[in-house]
Amino acid sequence: MASSQDNMQRQSFTIIPAIDIIEGKCVRLTEGDYAQKKIYNEDPLEVALQFQDAGLQRLHLVDLDGAKAGAVQNWKVLEKLAGKTNLVIDFGGGIKQEQDVRIVFDSGAALATIGSLAVKSPETFAAWLQQFGADKFLLGADVKQEKLAVSGWLETTDIWIYDFIQDYLQKGVQQIFCTDVSKDGKLEGPATDLYRSLKEKFPELHLIASGGVAVLDDVFALQEAGCAGVIIGKAIYENRISLKDLKLLI
C-alpha cells in the first residue's frame, strides 16, 4: 500500500513520452546513430493520441531531419500534433536561428528544446532567454563521462556538466533534461548515479532524466534519485513498458 508521501512524490513526477521524427515518420535511433534507425509508425499523430488516451500530458518531439539539416524541418508534424491533441509539447532539432524559434512557437510548441546551441553559441541562447522568456525553453544536456557532448554526440567538449548547469540556472533556465549518451536507446538502464549527483549539487533543479530506461523499476529509481520527470522512448515502442503501466503512475 503506497503511503501518502509516495503518492505526493508520484504526483510531482512527470512521464514524458518521446517521438522522434524522420521524413514525417515516428522512428528511434540507437546512440544517436542515423544508420541505426527503426521506423515504429508512419503516423506520429496516431502515436501521440495513444499517449494522450493513456493520460499522459507531455510530449518530447524531436525533429531528427532538422537536427541534421541545422534548421527546423518537421514543423508541420508539430502543428498537426499541437492542433489535434492536448499534449504539452516540447520540440527540438534544428533550432539554430531566431526564425526557427518563432516557427516552433507559432506551430504550437509550449517549449523549445535547445541542446548543442547552448554550448556552442551561449550568447545567442542567452539572448533568446531574455527575448522569449526562460520558461519557454527546455535545455538538453548530453553527457559523456560528465563532460558535454554536442553535434549529435559526435563531439565531446571539455565543459563539465556541473558548470554548464550552474551557468544556465543563473540565467533563469528552469527545466533541464540530461542524457547519458552511452545509455541512450540501449535499454540498459538510466544514469541514476549521475542524476543523484546532480540533484545533490543543485537541489532546486527541475531535472528530467533521459536515456536508458528499460523497465518500470528504472522509473521508480529515477523518482528516488530526485528527478522531476523522465523522457521515455524506445522502452515504450519495444513494449518493455506498457502505456497501461504508465497510467498507474499518473
User: Over the stretch 186-245, which tens digit does the pLDDT of each residue have?
Assistant: 778 999 999 999 999 999 999 999 999 999 999 999 999 999 999 999 999 999 999 999
- Global pTM reads 0.91
Among the residue ranges 41-50, 72-81, 137-146, 153-162, the one predicted with the least confidence is 153-162
Cell of 129: 532567454
- How is the chain split into domains, by residue range? 4-249
Mean pLDDT within 5-28: 79
Q: Is residue 7 predicted with pLDDT exceeding 50? A: no
62, pLDDT greater than 70: yes
Is the pLDDT at 3 greater than 70, yes or no?
Answer: no
First CA to last CA distance, the chain: 16
- What are the catalytic residues? 20, 142
The residues that bridge with 183 in the sheet, in sequence order, are none
Strands (E), the chain: 14-22, 25-30, 33-41, 58-63, 88-92, 111-114, 137-144, 147-150, 155-160, 175-180, 206-210, 229-232
Mean pLDDT of 144-169: 89
Partners of residue 207 on adjacent β-strands: 176
Amino acid 125: pLDDT: 98
Given a cut of 80, whether residue 165 has pLDDT beyond it is yes
Is residue 134 very low, low, confident or very high in pLDDT (cuts 50, 70, 90)?
Answer: very high
The CATH number of 4-249 is 3.20.20.70
**What local confidence, expressed as pLDDT, does residue 153 receive?**
60
Amino acid identity, residue 113?
T
Higher pLDDT residue, 185 or 37? 37
pLDDT above 70: percentage of residues in the chain: 93
pLDDT band at 152 (very low <50, low <70, confident <90, very high): low
Confidence of residue 1 (pLDDT cuts 50, 70, 90): very low
Quick one: pLDDT at residue 182? 80
Task: Provide the angle, in degrees to the nearest 10, between the axes of the packed helices 161-170 and 192-201.
Answer: 40
What is the residue-averaged pLDDT of the chain? 91
The C-alpha cell 531566431 sits at: 98
Q: Is the pLDDT at 155 greater than 90, yes or no?
A: no
Q: Residue 9 has what pLDDT?
A: 42
Q: Is pLDDT at 167 greater than 50 in this prediction? A: yes
What is the rounded average pLDDT of the residues 52-79? 96
